[in-house]
Each structure stands twice: as structure tokens, then as C-alpha cells.
Amino acid sequence: MMRNQPNKQTLKASELSFFCYQFSVVFKAGIPYLEGLHILSGDVFDAKLKGIVMQITSEVEMGLPLNEAIGNRNAFPIYLVDMIKIAENTGRLGETFEQLSVYYDQNDQLRQKVKNALTYPLVLIGLMSVVILMLVLKVLPIFHEILLSVGGSVPKATAFVLDLSLILQNGILFILGILVLVILYFMLLFKTNLLSKQRDAFLLNFPGVKAIYRKSLAVKFSRAYAILIKSGMPLVEGLELIIPLMENESVEKALKGVAQAVQEGKSLSDALSNTRLFPDLFVKMIELGGKTGALDVMLDKTADIYERELNRSLHRLTVSIEPTLVIILSLIVGAILLLVMLPLINIMSSIG
């Protein structure tokens, strides 16, 4: 039976990592259950997390299992809650909390790396646009007045640039309005779920972005699934728990199909291969892990490999973007200045 539970997470990955780490320290130290919760509800956490832990402690004191007390807070993902439930049943709370702490820490680092790699070129493009607009709106009108005052013929290319400058000056409010709409569109695209289908399609299909995004999916899938397999979770139930973590409707739909195919007897590697979401090497490593009975070990190894690949890809992206954009800016500025300066130089030469 397929599960379709929403991800209610409101805590950041870094906060989840810290939360799980503190719990792992207490449970691995052998401190009695309730005493450990009282220690954690003291001065261990900041105000937000402290309030959550106090509520959890209160409900556990009333006889509620830890996983239910955590699940009652609209702050934790379904994945974490179910992992705690498994740990309670197997007596592995300390180990599981430690694994979850590492998982959310790695997830937070991955998100930051991707965010930084995408933010840098956007900032650089914004600065380029400001420089070009200043040149067109402030500098070119001065040269235009000079050319008109000295007379002489103006080449068609120069006339086009000067006419474009006048159009931009007269329509500056319209241009700013378009820019604001574009910024709002991208904010809606990546900061909300209103345009989730367009965002998912962009991430999975846009050249230059899709390769990096699919590597990040491979890392996220491998890390989460490895923890589940180590806990003894069956393949299909594990897949169903991972689905909300992907944060992409298209990927979630594909993984539901994978879970259904595995439930019907198909191998995990074949089902993943049919989605065409993951690299071929990823699928081969999953296949090898399944055949050798060491799927959890292979998943960890796969996550390490693709995290290194992702880091290299992000580094290459940021390193290559800076000189490329600088060259483009230099060519644009140089072309504009040449188109305006050369006629002016010719006219001055003829006067001399």
C-alpha cells in the first residue's frame, strides 16, 4: 500500500542535525530515558528548539512513544519520525539519532553548496546589467550630444546604438517593471510551491543545470536510503519514506513508480534505470549492491562518489562562469565605446 504523507518539516536541515546530535549524545551515554529528555529540555537548545523539546518531554512523560511525541510537532519530516519509530522498536535510538544528525548535516552542506554556486553567477549577471545600463543611459547620451554638436555623418551601427540608448532612456520605467516581474517570477519559482511544475521541469531539463541537479538527487537518495536499509527497513517501505525528501513532484512520481515496480517483483536497479533520473554508474552500483547483499554499504559509497562529483561540478561551474561573464561584459562595453568613439575621432580628425 503506497503511503502519501506530506512532509511537514519547518525546521532547517542544520537545526534538525543539531537536534539529532544532542539526542544521540544523551542516548549513547546510557542516561535513563526521561532523565535524558529533561536534560535536553534544559539549556541545551535555543528558544525555538527548547520549546519543542519541552513539549516532547511532557508528552513522553504522559506515556506517548518518542516517535509520536516528535511526530505531533509540525516541525519534523516524516522520514525522521519513522526512523525514530524503527529505532525505538530495535533499541538503536543513540545510533539512529547519530546517523540522522550526519545525514541532515550533509544535506545542509549540499544545499548550501548548490545555493552558493547558483547565487554567484546571478549576482555577477546583475552587476553586469547595471554597468551596461549605466553606460547606455548616462555615458552614451553625452557622446550623442557631442556628435550632434560637431556634425558629420554617423555610421549606421553607431546610429543604431545611439537610437537604442534613447529608447532605453524613454522606456526606463517599463524596463524596470519587466526586471521586477522577472525577479518576482524567479522568487516564486524557487521560494514557493506555486510554480512547482515549472521549477521541476527547469531543474531536470535545463542544460548545464540538469547534470548537477541529478547528481544532487543521487547523493540525497543514497544517503537517506542507506540509513533505512541499515535499520532493516524493507525496500518498498524505504522507497516510500524517501519520496517526500526529493522535493520534486516529477521525481516523487517516478519513485512511486519504482516502489510499485519493486513491489511487483522487479529489481531495484532496473526500476531506477527506467526512470532515467540517475546516472548509469549510480544504477550499476545499486545493482552490484543488491547482488552482493551489501546494498547499504554500496549506497554509502555511491553517495560519497557523487558528492565528490557534485563538488567538482560546482567548482568548475563557479570557476568558469567568472571569466566567461567578464569577457562578455568587456566585449559589450568595448563594442559600444568603439562604435561611438570611432566616428567622433574621425570627425575630429577631419576638422583638424
Does residue 51 lie in a domain region?
yes
Closest C-alpha to 232, from 33, 69, 92: 92
What local confidence, expressed as pLDDT, does residue 4 receive?
Answer: 42
Q: Say if CB 217 and CB 277 are below 8 A apart.
A: yes
Low-confidence ranges of the chain (pLDDT < 70): 1-9, 43, 150-154, 347-352
Domain presence at residue 28 = yes
Domain that holds residue 45: 13-76
pLDDT value, residue 285: 92
What's the chain look like in SS3? CCCCCCCCCCCCHHHHHHHHHHHHHHHHCCCCHHHHHHHHCCCCCCHHHHHHHHHHHHHHHCCCCHHHHHHCCCCCCHHHHHHHHHHHHHCCHHHHHHHHHHHHHHHHHHHHHHHHHHHHHHHHHHHHHHHHHHHHHHHHHHHHHHHHHHCCCCCHHHHHHHHHHHHHHHCHHHHHHHHHHHHHHHHHHHHCCCCHHHHHHHHHHCCCCHHHHHHHHHHHHHHHHHHHHHCCCCHHHHHHHHHHHHCCHHHHHHHHHHHHHHHCCCCHHHHHHHHCCCCHHHHHHHHHHHHHCCHHHHHHHHHHHHHHHHHHHHHHHHHHHHHHHHHHHHHHHHHHHHHHHHHHHHHHHHHC
Q: Is residue 60 part of a domain?
A: yes
pLDDT at res. 1: 39
Q: Which residue has the cell 519513485?
A: 255
Residue 122: inside a domain:
no
What global pTM score does this model have?
Answer: 0.71
Identify whether 99 is part of a domain: no
The three three-digit cell numbers of residue 335, written as one number = 563594442
In a domain, 53, yes or no: yes
The number of distinct structural domains making up the chain is 1
pLDDT score, position 26 = 86
The pLDDT, as a whole number, for residue 154 is 66
Q: What is the pLDDT of residue 261?
A: 92
- Residue pair 103/201 in contact (Cβ under 8 Å)? The answer is no
Q: Specify if 65 maps to a domain.
A: yes
Is residue 37 situated within a structural domain? yes
**pLDDT at residue 3, rounded to an integer:** 44
Which residue in 242, 301, 304 sits closest to 277, CA to CA?
A: 242
**pLDDT tens digits along 33-45:** 788 888 887 767 7
Q: What is the pLDDT of residue 351?
A: 61
pLDDT tens-digit series, residues 291-303: 898 998 999 899 8
Q: What is the pLDDT of residues 56-92, one digit of tens each?
A: 989 989 989 998 999 898 889 888 888 888 888 777 8
